[in-house]
Amino acid sequence: MNWATVFILLWIFAPALFDKTFAEETFSKCPFGKQFDIEAELTCPENKEHFHCVPVLPYFNAVIRICKRPKWFVKGTFPVWSPKYKKITSVPCASRRYQDYSYKSNNISVFKCSREKALCTEKGQVTLFRNHSTENNLCFCMDGYAFLKESKNGTYCNPDVENCSCIWIRTCKYTF
Ligand SMILES: *[C@@H]1O[C@H](CO)[C@@H](O)[C@H](O)[C@H]1NC(C)=O
Ligand SMILES: *[C@@H]1O[C@H](CO)[C@@H](O)[C@H](O)[C@H]1NC(C)=O
Ligand SMILES: *[C@@H]1O[C@H](CO)[C@@H](O)[C@H](O)[C@H]1NC(C)=O
Ligand SMILES: *[C@@H]1O[C@H](CO)[C@@H](O)[C@H](O)[C@H]1NC(C)=O
C-alpha cells in the first residue's frame, strides 16, 4: 500500500471511526429512587448534582446518562438530550401529561413531565380535556348529576385540589 492509498482509506473511514469513538451510550431506562443517587455518584463523582438521565430526541425511546451543569427550565416542558446539538434542552409535555412547576434539568421527577392528566371516570363524571401542558384536565357532571361538594368554579372541578365526585340528583325542576 502506498501513502496515497492509506490517505484515501483514512479519508473514507476516519469519519466512521470518529462517530464510533464518540457514539453516545444510551440506555432503555433511568435509575429511580435510591438507585438514582448511587448512579449519580458513580457516573459524576466530581459533582453528583451534574448527573442527568433524560430521554433522547426525537423519539424518546432511549435515555442518556450524562454529567452536565443543571439548567432551569419553565413549566409545561421536560428535559431531553439533543444528539444533534449535544446538549440538554427542553420540549413540551405530551398531551396526556403536564408539568406544573419550573424545574432543574437534573430532577428525575420531571422525567417526561411529572404528572399524568386525570380522566374523570367516576359515575356521572365527564372530562374536560384541556390542551394545556401546565395544568390538569378538569371534570364536570353530566346531565342529572351534580357535584357532591360544590366546586370553586361552579361548573368545572379540578381533581388536583377538589373532590370531583358527582351524585345523581332527582330533577324536580319542572314540577311545581
Ligand atoms: C424536584 O422538584 C420537586 C418539585 O419542585 C422537588 O420537591 C424535589 O425536591 C426536586 N428534586 C430534586 C432532586 O431536585
Ligand atoms: C394544542 O395546542 C397546540 C399549541 O398551542 C396546537 O398546535 C395543537 O393543535 C392543539 N391541539 C388541540 C387538539 O387543540
Ligand atoms: C371555570 O373554568 C372554565 C374552564 O377553565 C373557565 O373557562 C371559566 O372561566 C371558569 N369560570 C369561573 C367562574 O371561574
Ligand atoms: C369524595 O367524597 C366522597 C364522600 O366523602 C367519597 O366517598 C369519595 O371517595 C371522595 N372522592 C375522592 C376522589 O376522594
Residue ID of nearest Cα to ligand 4 atom 1: 163
**What letter would DSSP give residue 24?**
P
User: What pLDDT, on a 0 to 100 scale, did the predictor assign at position 25?
Assistant: 81
Residues 114, 133 contacting (CB under 8 angstroms): no
| Entry pTM | 0.79
pLDDT for 4-15, tens place per residue? 655 555 455 554
Please tell me if the CB atom of residue 154 comes closer than 6 angstroms to any atom of ligand 3. yes
Taking the centre of ligand 4 as the mean of its atom positions, its distance from the CA of residue 170, in whole angstroms, is: 20
Q: Decide if pLDDT at 91 tops 50.
A: yes
Residues with CB under 6 A from ligand 4: 148, 163, 165
CA atoms of 89 and 74, how far apart (whole Å): 11
Four-CA torsion 65, 71, 77, 83, nearest 10 degrees? -40
**What pLDDT, on a 0 to 100 scale, did the predictor assign at position 51?**
97
Residues 124 and 107: beta-carbon distance below 8 Å: no
Terminal alpha carbon distance of the chain: 105
Name the more confident of 26 and 97: 97
Cα 30 to Cα 121: distance, rounded to the nearest angstrom: 31
Q: What is the pLDDT of residue 50?
A: 97
- Helices and strands of the chain, counted as H and E runs: 2, 13
Instruction: Report the pLDDT value the prediction gives residue 40, as an integer from 0 to 100.
Output: 97
